[in-house]
Amino acid sequence: MSLVAIVGRPNVGKSTLFNRLVGQRQAIVDATAGTTRDRHYGKTDWNGREFSIIDTGGYTVNSEDIFEDEIRRQVLLAIEEADVILFLVEVGTGVTDLDMMMAEILRRAKKRVILVCNKVDNYEMIYNSHEFYTLGLGDPFCISSMSGSGTGELMDEILKLLPEDCAAEQLEDLPRITIVGRPNVGKSSMTNALLGQDRNIVTNIAGTTRDSIHTRYNKYGMDFYLVDTAGMRKKGKTMEDLEFYSVMRSIRAIEASDVCVLMLDAQQGIESQDLNIHNLIVRNRKGCVIVVNKWDLIEKENNTMKEWKEFLEKKLAPFSDIPIIFTSALHKQRILDVLQTAIRVCNSRSRRIPTSELNDFILPIIEQTPPPTVKGKYIRIKYAMQLPTPTPQFAFFCNLPQYIRENYRRFLENHIREQYDFSGVPIQIYFRQK
């Protein structure tokens, strides 16, 4: 896979250029320096060739940003991964000490580097770009990532330097497992533990992750995309614009996922915001796995795990048929169980039941326990079928669908779940006029 990394000091327009090249608003853009923290991947194509792009945090030293060391390490990892590096500088500020420091790192890396002079919004500014020759990285490409000026010539140059036989990964072809939850429950720690590398920045400060970070997982016969998301706080507690954008990215990641791993903090238990996220997953008809993290910090007795499961199922009702796994991301306890369970839920979500098989199973149960009579009228269910929808939905055809109550709907759903293992998958049941 060909990779192009965008690097530079803070606030030179790296995320704006990233969004311009991939054609989507994937990375959060804000005037605040240090908005981007983790490496952020996207896909683009130019003249029939596809490649991937990495957006990185701003490289800095001796700043007030408490994430400075982690961001710097992420930038160096991106440089190591990339085939071509776009070194972004800003024409308005000229050459800075940080630019000189970054140029020195790139020269030592011995990678193919394109010097990109950003925020060149008119022809007069092109003359100011000549001072960047002092960086010793060749001719600067003058662009405006905001308006798109000069990005076409930049893409032509990227194609010249990319290896011929590489192409970008196709995000659409593989399942997506998204890790969601409140801030600081261990989502990024879990992602790093599963991947076996420090893919995402981890600190004990809530809100460290801002973007939704996609990473391909291809081990132990499993192949899918693992998505780490920003923590989702209540609306009333979302104070900054950046945090609002982060939460919106997380919601979009849930909408685009196949299975969501909802992480809870064992020390805090399940809170109202956890239930809100759970409801969001169910409303979007996504598969769900509950992971109780930091299990190593809990004092345990003989039935602690069983009591926790019963408590969580009661809280999550009516949709409580969800796998619950107790883990410690720090000690890598039962983390592979999380993936195996998520894959099983993903497969269950796409399961198709033949109509004849479904009727052979469910009609005897309905005959033995028919719907209660309403106003002296008998309700007769003739047959059932699974609808041709992406998620499990069933239609039961009967004479008086308007009289069937919610408790009977749940009765049928529970029997279908027990027979066909739809654990963790929301099921919709409809009653229609024969």
Per-residue pLDDT of the chain (434 residues; tens, 9 = 90+): 577 888 888 888 888 888 888 876 554 444 444 444 445 667 787 887 878 788 887 777 765 555 566 677 777 877 887 889 999 998 888 888 888 988 888 888 888 899 999 888 877 788 888 888 988 888 888 998 888 888 889 899 998 888 775 444 444 568 889 998 888 888 888 888 888 765 444 444 444 444 456 677 887 778 888 888 877 765 444 444 444 455 666 777 787 889 999 999 988 888 888 888 898 888 888 999 999 999 988 888 888 899 999 999 999 888 888 999 999 988 888 888 998 999 999 999 999 999 999 999 999 999 999 998 888 889 999 999 999 988 899 999 999 888 899 999 999 999 999 899 899 999 999 999 87
385 strand-pairing partners: 395
Report the greatest alpha carbon distance in the chain: 91
Q: In 3D, which of 83, 93, 136 has the Cα closest to residue 117?
A: 93
226 strand-pairing partners: 177, 215
Non-local (6+) Cβ contacts of 145 within 8 A are: 13, 16, 17, 20, 118, 119, 151
- Rounded to whole angstroms, the Cα distance separating 322 from 306 reads 14
Radius of gyration of the chain (CA): 26
366, 416 Cβ separation under 8 angstroms:
no
The DSSP call for residue 377 is B
- Rounded to whole angstroms, the Cα distance separating 228 from 230 reads 7
Amino acid in position 323: P
What are residue 132's phi and psi, to 5 degrees? -75, -5
> For residue 422, what pLDDT is reported?
92
336, 193 Cβ separation under 8 angstroms:
no
Non-local (6+) Cβ contacts of 102 within 8 A are: 7, 8, 9, 59, 87
* Count of CB atoms situated within 10 Å of the CB of 195: 16
266, 293 Cβ separation under 8 angstroms:
yes
> For residue 303, what pLDDT is reported?
86
Q: In 3D, which of 109, 135, 140 has the Cα closest to residue 5?
A: 109
> For residue 246, what pLDDT is reported?
59
> For residue 241, what pLDDT is reported?
42
- Rounded to whole angstroms, the Cα distance separating 249 from 203 reads 20
> What would the pLDDT profile of 179-211 be if each residue is shown by its tens digit?
988 888 888 888 888 887 654 444 444 444 444
- Residue count of the chain: 434
Q: In 3D, which of 294, 288, 290 has the Cα closest to residue 333?
A: 294
Non-local (6+) Cβ contacts of 228 within 8 A are: 38, 179, 187, 188, 191, 199, 200, 209, 212, 213, 215
The DSSP call for residue 111 is -
Q: How far is CA 121 from the centre of its chain?
A: 34
| Strand residues in 360-412 grouped as ranges (E) | 381-386, 393-398
* Count of CB atoms situated within 10 Å of the CB of 388: 7
> For residue 82, what pLDDT is reported?
81
